[in-house]
Structure 1
Amino acid sequence: MTRFGQSWFDDDAGPLVRPYAVTRGRTLGSGRELDMLTLVVTKSSSVPLRRPEPEYPEILRLCHVPQSVAEVSAVLRLPLAVTKILVGDLINDGHLNFRAPARTDAAGADELSMLRAVLDGIRKL
């Protein structure tokens, strides 16, 4: 309990708002499955920001230079799942451009052969 005039805020306690409150209870994004390595950058657009939450303008400010979703999450000190939802909202509203990380089929074949080699090594033990 705090005394009259004593501040009850504590930086060590962490955020006072639960992550689901920031996303208004949403646990899924709005149609785009974003990877933590997806790069996002602010568009030069005249579309006004219609969202009142303070996280949205902060994301736009951060993304004047390309940032990964993981970097945005770290700077905002929000869970990655929450950040993906907020970034997805801004992409759908036309405020952010995004580029998913490149994936090649050859990399998948290399990973499979490596996993087989590891499994063979484990069997030999």
Structure 2
Amino acid sequence: MKNARQPREPGGHWYDDEAGPVVRPYAMTGGRTRPGTAVAALDLIAQVLAEPGAADDPTLEPEHTALLALCRDEPLSVAELAADADLPVGVVRVLLGDLMALGSVRVRTPVPPAQLPDERILREVINGLRAL
């Protein structure tokens, strides 16, 4: 029985029989571990939507194109993109930072809880509307 850790052929050390082709995350990001722009905007629940025609750029890497394809039709969170692309969240953040710098994606950040209206105020508005 062949061991999964042994190369299939000479020079085939980038292939694992059980896992398939092996590409380390730092190879996808050019060794970068943080997005170049808008780190705060790339929260796990931030919604990402591809701009129309963004995937047509021939200079994009396959991983960039895959992310654009995933969020082309509907916004997805950063966490969903990472899960759907089967990539680590850190890699997805770096790749999305690249796409943000190119203007290929729109990112909507969630409203921080401190900026949400107080529940008491909302109840008073509802009661006021009911009184009309």
TM-score between the two structures when normalised by the length of structure 1 = 0.70
1:54 aligns with 2:62: yes
Q: How many residues align?
A: 105
1:71 aligns with 2:80: yes
Higher relative contact order (CA 8 A, sep 6+): 1
Q: CA RMSD in A?
A: 2.7
**Structure 1: gaps (5+ residues):** 108-125
1:96 aligns with 2:117: no
Contact 1:47 1:94 survives alignment (8 Å): no
**Structure 2: gaps (5+ residues):** 1-5, 117-132
Deviation of 1:75 after TM superposition, in Å, equals 1.1
Deviations 1:38-75 (A, max 9, x none): 10001125795253421111111111110101111011
Q: 1:63 to 1:26 in 2, by over 3 A?
A: same
Q: Which portions of structure 1, spanning 4 or more consecutive aligned residues, are displaced by more than 4 angstroms?
A: 1-4, 7-11, 45-48
Cα distance in structure 2, aligned partners of 1:19 and 1:46: 23
